[in-house]
Amino acid sequence: MTAHEETDVLVIGSGFGGAIPAYHLAAGGASVVVLERGPWLTADEFEHDFKFGSSSTRVFEFTMGEGMNVLGGNCVGGGSVVYFAAMPRAPQFVFERQGSLGRRMWPKSITRESLEPWYDRVAQALPITQSSWDDVTYAGGVFAAACNHAGRTANPVAAAIDTDLCTNCNWMMSGCKFDAKRSLLLNYLPAAVDHGARIRPLHEVQRIERTPEGAFLVHYTVVDPVDYRVQVDAGVIEAKVVVVAAGAAATPVILQRSEETLGAMPPAVGRYFSGNGERLNTAILNEDRVRDVLGLDRGDGLAYAANQIGRGPSAASWDRLDGSLPEFSRYSLEQLYFPPGFGTILAQAPDAEGPSWFGADKKEILRRWQSWLTIFIMSEDDNEGVFGPPPETGNADRISMQMLSRGNLRYEPTAATRHGWALADADIRDIMERDGLSRVMPWTNEVIGAYTVHPLASCRMGDDPETSALDDTNELRDHPGIFVTDGSAVPGALTVNPAFTIAAIAERAVPNIVRAAQARGVDVRYLGSLPPAARVSRKAPVTVTGP
Amino acid sequence: MEDFDGLSADQVMTLEAYADTIIPGERRGPADRAVAGAATGGGAVASGAVELMLSPEGGLAGVLDSLAEGLNEHARDYTARIGLDPDPTVPPFVALACGHRVALARELLAPGHPEQELWVSLAMFSAMAWDTGAHMHTSDAMAAGHPGLTSMGFMPSEPDGIWRFPRFSYGRALAAIHPRTTLRGDPE
């Protein structure tokens, strides 16, 4: 047999679910290898550029499915590099959700209260900063003022952003060139490297097999740094423990492909996918009404016209985050920004005589793009996503050199999910169309189906083996030694941005992974330390490829 | 019409006519047949739609010839169904009047059409050419007066090619916060 590299712990993916265990296990004395299929970029390589091949396509992934499209990170640092860093804790009622199961989705050991210490650790490590009205952008301000005008409340949203460094450029989806966004490149990942963890970018894990001795062989390919469709190398690493954190659109696919060598997967692997109940509406503001009705003025003669200015979401309405309301009727509404392209194609022209998402009417509303306000719905969907058979490699068939691929996720929204969306759409219209402030249309779902920037639950935790793939320690049922710690472990939609909860669950999982590693003869301890916060993201080590 | 390697003039004209259906623009001259002239200002074609479709990064370049042929095949079928008398000197999709191009595009892009995904992809490249000019560096596109970015009012970068907006906030409380907000600012 070919000699191959060995490590105590192999981590698949370097987003929140991978970086957090990688840091703690390395700090505790284990040898750790992190395989990340995307490239390793740092602040000076993040570009303000829409051009194909710039960082905007190198670090971002758009995976088309049947009825569901997933947008996420594809780089060292994963989602933390491309996200908007909005970090609210999930409300208490979320942990009591039943969905359509008729019983609690979450393990009984996890509640908001039991998760608080783990949230606290993440908040300190990144760090997350509480926001004030001075931090709320023009777009967030218009939304808050419209909420207020409609008798609603609105909150500044906490974020993992150093606002002293932030320039409000709104290029966050291409990575932050100012290191203002407190991504994992500034805390857990450099600290993991300092403790000896080896992070290998452009290494895409394909499958896992078990050795007769009970260790794992993790098979990977190495992808070309420009054309991700091209594989330039392949290899195997042996590990005593495997942490799968490839993201909710990839983790179940790796496990499905591994069935042949690992044995049958729990039935919930690749089922119960949630898109976090996400949906978008675009309001096209009437600048005069913004000034007259809301009394807003930028001080430079403009009332708003600031769609381009900011840093993603800065204000949200939590009026429907009310645990006394029935399930599938609770949601948050968050002001958001998407750049042209992602943020424009599915938007619809109100009162279009012809087609609403393309054509002459669409062009007319695009001319008013600076007066657009994007409102993001995060609601309770019905975990209706199911992954079909895995593609030959990766989690999807790549169409473009970078960014665009076609996977096997099927999602047909149930009546319960659509009910929540309809309530939220109506709520947004009530807030944003009041007294002629704007015209609002939801993005069309008829072109590519639904979409999410927060994929969840495709390999979820729970107490019931039939409907959950992981026990409450994040260990994969029937496959001891394999842990899943990314968004796929979260049982269902959270009604708020999920990164903070994913990170807290990853923190919570670490002592369990340490115990499993110890039981397998790894000399590792759980120290409970936190990574020091760096000011500047550092270059990838020169030796970035396998042995 | 520009010359594009690997595509015939008819194919280019067909792809341009489709892109112009997605984001319409004004004609480039009196002889322009691909662009229908359904809107003022440059549309997807003037914004670089065919350049973007042809970009090696995009992954569409290798199938553009068959997409153009497919569009013309659908246009022939449409023409026969509706009973039109097309101009034989241009490709069938180009021969369609603007309203008919839109009607056919709506059919191709509708949920349930067996080729919907193909035509959506081509539509997205057309839209992105206008919205982002992704075949060019954005600073260059802005400097060159890119029709889409300019029409959208996309604000330019600072001279170093970096976007910064020092003024970004109304700087005052604009709503009451939710009564069940924790001291740390989270929902309860």
Using H for helix, E for strand and C for coil, what is the string for A175-186? CCCCCCECCHHH
Query: pTM of whole model > 0.95?
Result: yes
**Dihedral, A133, A279, B49, A306 alpha carbons, nearest 10:** -20
**Cis bond before residue A127 (omega within 30° of 0):** yes
**What is the biggest distance separating any 2 CA atoms in chain B, rounded to whole angstroms?**
73
CA–CA dist A397, A408 (Å, integer): 9
Band of pLDDT at residue B116, cut at 50, 70 and 90: very high
Write the residue in B57, B59, B131 that is nearest to A340 by C-beta: B131
Chain A interface test: which of B57, B98, B130 (most A C-beta within 10 Å): B57
pLDDT score recorded for residue A1: 45
Q: Which residues of A touch B182 (CB under 8 A)?
A: 89
Which residue in the set A48, A50, A134 is minimally distant from B171, CB to CB? A134
pLDDT higher than 50, residue B42: yes
**Is residue B161 left, alpha or beta, with left meaning phi > 0 and alpha meaning psi from -120 to 50?**
left
Task: Note down the domain range covering A55.
Answer: 5-519
Q: Which whole-number Å values give the CA distances from A166 to A31, A315, B162, in the listed order?
A: 36, 17, 12
Question: In chain A, what is the greatest distance between 2 CA atoms, to the nearest angstrom?
Answer: 76
The DSSP annotation for B94-109 comes to: HHS-HHHHHHHHHHHT
pLDDT score, position B137? 97
Residue A135's Cα: distance from chain center in Å? 23
Strands A155-156 and A315-317: antiparallel
Instruction: State the smallest CA–CA distance between residue B133 and chain A in angstroms.
Output: 7
The answer to whether position A55 is within a domain reads yes
Is A92 within a domain? yes
Residue of B64, B19, B153 whose CA lies nearest to B28: B19
Dihedral angle over CA of A32, A37, A40, A43, nearest 10: -120
Residue A260 lies in a domain: yes
Q: How far is B136 from chain A (nearest CA, A)?
A: 5
Return the beta strands (E) in A413-481 as ranges: 438-442, 450-452
- Which residue on chain A is closest to B142 by alpha carbon? A49
Structure tokens of A30? 């284990």
Distance CA A297, CA A409 (A): 45
Per the CB < 8 Å rule, is B152 touching A141?
no
Rounded to whole angstroms, how far apart are CA atoms A164 and B103?
51
Distance CA A438, CA A429 (A): 9
Q: Which helix (H) or strand (E) holds B70?
A: helix B64-82
Q: Are A372 and B34 in contact, with CB atoms under 8 Å apart?
A: no
Number of domains in chain A: 1
Q: Are the CB atoms for A414 and A382 separated by under 8 Å? A: yes
Q: Is residue A539 part of a domain?
A: no
Can you tell me the distance from the alpha carbon of A22 to that of A245, in angstroms, rounded to the nearest whole number?
11
- Residues of chain B in contact with residue A396, where contact means CB-CB under 8 angstroms, are none
SS3 content of chain B, % helix, strand, coil (to 5): 45, 0, 55
What's the CA gap between A190 and A89, in Å, rounded? Answer: 25
Could you tell me which residues are beta bridge partners of residue A7? A239
Per-residue burial over A18-54, b = 16 or more CB atoms within 10 Å of its CB, e = otherwise = bbbbbbbbbbbbbbbbbbbbbbbbbbebbbbbbbbbb
Q: Which residue reads 């919907």 in tokens?
A: B116
What is the full per-residue pLDDT of chain A (547 aa) written as tens digits?
456 899 999 999 999 999 999 999 999 999 999 999 999 999 999 999 999 999 999 999 999 999 999 999 999 999 999 999 999 999 999 999 999 999 999 999 999 999 999 999 999 999 999 999 999 999 999 999 999 999 999 999 999 999 999 999 999 999 999 999 999 999 999 999 999 999 999 999 999 999 999 999 999 999 999 999 999 999 999 999 999 999 999 999 999 999 999 999 999 999 999 999 999 999 999 999 999 999 999 999 999 999 999 999 999 999 999 999 999 999 999 999 999 999 999 999 999 999 999 999 999 999 999 999 999 999 999 999 999 999 999 999 999 999 999 999 999 999 999 999 999 999 999 999 999 999 999 999 999 999 999 999 999 999 999 999 999 999 999 999 999 999 999 999 999 999 999 999 999 999 999 999 999 999 999 999 999 988 888 777 654 444 3
Tell me, yes or no, whether A207 lies in a domain. yes
The reply to whether B112 touches chain A by the CB within 8 Å rule is: no
Q: What is the pLDDT of residues B96-115, one digit of tens each?
A: 999 999 999 999 999 999 99
Report angle CA A366, A369, A370 to the nearest 5 degrees: 160
Q: Do B187 and A310 touch (CB under 8 A)?
A: no
What residue in A sits closest to B111 (Cα-Cα)? A446
- Measure the CA–CA gap between A233 and A229, rounded to whole angstroms: 12
| Residue A529 domain flag | no
Cα(A268)–Cα(A245) distance, rounded to whole angstroms?
A: 16
Query: Which residues contact residue B88 at a Cβ distance below 8 angstroms, ignoring those fewer than 6 apart?
Result: B95
Paired sense of beta strands A332-336 and A372-378, if any: antiparallel
Cβ-defined contact of B24 to A363 (cutoff 8 Å): yes
DSSP state of A207: E
- The partner residues of A199 in beta bridges, in order of sequence, read A34
Q: Which one of A169, A308, A360 has the shortest CB-CB distance to B39?
A: A360
Residue A359 and residue B165: Cβ atoms within 8 Å? no
pLDDT given for residue B1 in this prediction: 52
CATH number, residue A453: 3.50.50.60
Distance CA A170, CA A427 (A): 26
Residue A541: predicted pLDDT = 63
User: How far is residue A458 from each of residues A92, A386, A473, measured CA to CA in Å?
Assistant: 22, 8, 16
Assigned token pair, A28:
């505790």
| Cα A320 to Cα A246, A284, A333, distances in angstroms | 32, 23, 9
Name the minimum distance, in Å, from the CA of B68 to any CA of chain A: 19
Q: What are phi and psi for residue A532, nearest 5 degrees?
A: -70, 150
The set of residues, in sequence order, having a beta carbon less than 8 Å from that of A116 and lying 6+ positions away, is A89
A525 domain-assigned: no
Dihedral sign computed on CA atoms, order B55, B57, B61, B67: negative
Domain assignment present for A545: no
A153, B177: Cβ pair inside 8 Å? yes
Who among B120, B130, B157 is closest to A448 (CB)? B120
CB-neighbour burial class of residue A259 (10 A; exposed 0-12, middle 13-18, buried 19+): middle
Q: Give the span between the Cα atoms of A508 and A121, in whole angstroms.
A: 10
Shortest Cα distance, chain B CAs vs residue A401, angstroms = 5
